[in-house]
Amino acid sequence: MMNLCNLSQYQLLDYINKVSFAVDDILLFLDSHPDCPEALAYFHEHSKLRKAALKEYARRFGPLTIDTANDTSSSSWEWIYQKWPWEGGGCSCGTMKNDCSIR
């Protein structure tokens, strides 16, 4: 298994995109081949990799999906204070560049 702790935010997001694509693709295959043991094993393996990567991303940079949001650790909804993956550099307070926050 890849050491996710050594990846940058960009690299980790890229990895999540790739493994998510693999999961989505194998799901389509399983729709027409539900009894294929190799496909099912591939699905389980890549689903596990995806969950681990999403968990690591949430731990380091904030949740990407509702499944990785930890809504019990705080009295407020934390997503609004984090930069979105497509927001680069600048302010770390959660507002968009040039104070054009629509959140």
Distance CA 17, CA 77 (A): 25
Residue that has been written with the tokens 């909804």 in this structure: 77
Mean pLDDT of 21-39: 96
The contacts of residue 33 (CB under 8 Å, 6+ apart) are 39
Check whether 98 has a pLDDT greater than 50.
Answer: no
The C-alpha atoms of residue 33 and residue 27 are separated, in whole angstroms, by 10
**The amino acid at 78:** E
Comparing 45 with 93, which gets the higher pLDDT? 45
- pLDDT for the residue 100: 41
For the cut 90, the answer to whether the pLDDT of residue 92 exceeds it is no
- Can you tell me the mean pLDDT for 8-16? 94
On average, the pLDDT of the chain sits at 79
pLDDT at 96 over 50: no
Domains of the chain, residue spans:
1-67, 70-103
Give, as one character, the DSSP assignment of residue 82: S
